[in-house]
Amino acid sequence: MRVTERYINGVVLTGLLVLPIWALAMDEPFTITLATRAVVLALAAVGLNLALGLGGMVSLGHAAFFGLGGYTMGILAYHAQTYSTLNLGLFSTDGTTSMPLIWLSAMVISALVAFFIGMLSLRTTGVYFIMITLAFGQMFFYFAISWAQYGGEDGLSIYVRNGFPGLNTLVPIQFFGICFTLLCIVLFLFARLQASPFGLALNATRQTRSRVQAVGLNPTRIRLLAFVLSGAITGLAGALFADLNRFVSPTMFSWQLSGELIVLIVIGGVGRLMGPVIGACVFVALEHFLGALTDYWHVYLGVVLLCIVLFGRGGLIGLLTGKEGAHV
């Protein structure tokens, strides 16, 4: 049976919305938390999909932005909750527990860092790019470990989840609602961007760089902008992830997480709008069900992944629609 991608997208989003509501009715808050986790991971992977899927930049260091978002939330909330002042030289702040402000800060900081990493790493392509992004990601990991003021290796606990005007974020379904809404907004923007002149140009830089240059566009600038946007979205997801766990630690910067974000995209389908969302749902489900069966579920994940790479092309969406490529 072949179905269209649009149909799959609708089913997945509806399912992701109905599951927590059903869990609320059945009084199973843990399922809501699992769904929130899937939504937040999906958001992070949508960010990466912009760079990796559309722009063909295989970044193995996106955990850097995820962690930066997390630590932005952790540091701002830490100062607000301990009534201490964060002094940054030029300006100082007393921190905040307001989610919108935290999101904005997380996105701005991630975007700035993405700009610098992009400036350096986009001078190169291919394998160099992979290794350099991986190395910069690791740089933040070690920096977070040695930064004793904010918990170092032990991480930083935030005891009360940050607030959103008019909502009680400590109620799981309300926090899910916030995350789900953000995911939908970002997916909408992603779809618009994909179809915009910028998206088309980005797609073209992935396919034939020299032709983009020949029509008078600057491929490096296009790729850099995409990388910055991608970092900002992943940073936003990091802030939400930290709020979900009420905890940040250097593991948010770990290279395994960067790898897992790529895995999410590939399970669903590279460069597809809903690829990361499907990937995140499958991943969280695998983690939950296989993890309950055996502590060594990563072995099976590895085998599944190998099979996808060696035998299946186009991820789950490709399998269902019968179309390998995302850009037909």
Partner 1 sequence: MSSILIVEQILNGLQFGVMLFLMAAGLTLIFGVMGLINLAHGSLYMVGAFAAAAVAGATGSFFLGLVAALASAALAGAIIEIVVIRRLYDAPHLDQVLATFALILIFSEGTRWFFGSFPLFLNIPQALSGPVTLPGGIEYPLYRLSLIVIGVAIAGGLWLFIERTRIGIQIRAGENDREMIAVLGVDISKLYTLVFALGAALAGLAGALVGAIQSVQVGMGEPVLILAFVVIVIGGIGSIRGAFIGALLVGLTDTLGGVFLPEFLGLFMEPGAAQKSGSAIASMGIYILMGLVLIWRPTGLFGARA
| DSSP output for 217-270 | --HHHHHHHHHHHHHHHHHHHHHHHHHHHTEE-GGGG-HHHHHHHHHHHHHH-T
Nearer to partner 1, 121 or 162 (CB): 121
The 45-74 contact track toward partner 1, x by CB under 8 A, reads -------x-----x-x--------------
Stretch that binds partner 1, among 20-28, 41-49, 130-138, 171-179 (CB under 8 A): 130-138
DSSP 151: T
Q: Would you say 108 or 307 has its CB closer to partner 1?
A: 307
Which distant-in-sequence residues (6+ apart) come within 8 Å of 233 by Cβ? 43, 44, 46, 47, 50, 107, 186
Q: Please, which residue, 132 or 239, has the CB nearer to partner 1? A: 132
Rule CB under 8 A: choose which of 7, 30, 128, 289 binds partner 1.
128
Using alpha carbons only, how large is the chain's radius of gyration in Å? 19
Residues numbered 287-316 forming contacts with partner 1, rule: CB under 8 A: 296-299, 301-303, 305-306, 308-310
Say how many residues touch partner 1, by CB under 8 A.
43
Tell which one of 22, 115, 147, 198 touches partner 1 (CB under 8 A). 147
Q: Is 149 in the site for partner 1 (CB under 8 A)?
A: yes
| For partner 1, the closer CB: 246 or 313 | 313
Report the alpha-carbon distance of residue 161 to residue 77 in Å, rounded.
Answer: 9
2 DSSP assignment? -
For residues 299 and 184, what is the distance between their CA atoms, to the nearest angstrom? 33
What six digits make up the tokens of 122? 């986009």
- Do the Cβ atoms of 37 and 288 come closer than 8 Å? no
Which among 100-108, 123-131, 167-175, 280-288 is the span making contact with partner 1, rule CB under 8 A? Answer: 123-131
Among the residue ranges 140-148, 173-181, 274-282, 314-322, the one whose residues contact partner 1 (CB under 8 A): 140-148
Q: Smallest distance, Å, CB 267 to partner 1? A: 10
Q: Which of 120, 167, 185, 195 binds partner 1 (CB under 8 A)?
A: 120
CB of 79 or CB of 206, closer to partner 1: 206
Nearer to partner 1, 244 or 264 (CB): 264
Return d(Cα 97, Cα 181) in angstroms, integer.
Answer: 20
Please identify which residue in 224, 266, 274, 326 interacts with partner 1, judged by CB under 8 A: 266
**Rounded Cα gap, residues 11 and 4, in angstroms:** 11
Amino acid symbol at 310: L
| Residue showing tokens 């700035």 | 112
For residues 77 to 116, the per-residue mask of contacts with partner 1, x marking binding by CB under 8 A and - elsewhere, is: ----------------------------------------
Maximum CA extent, the chain: 62
How far apart CA 204 and CA 225 sit, in angstroms, is 14
- Measure Cα distances from 216 to 122, 193, 234, 283 in Å: 19, 20, 30, 42
Tell me which stretch binds partner 1 (CB under 8 A): 17-25, 117-125, 161-169, 226-234: 117-125
Neighbour tally for 118: CB within 10 Å: 24
User: Under the rule (CB under 8 A), what is the footprint of partner 1?
Assistant: 52, 58, 60, 120-121, 123-124, 126-128, 130-132, 134-136, 138-139, 142-143, 145-149, 255, 259, 262-263, 266, 270, 296-299, 301-303, 305-306, 308-310
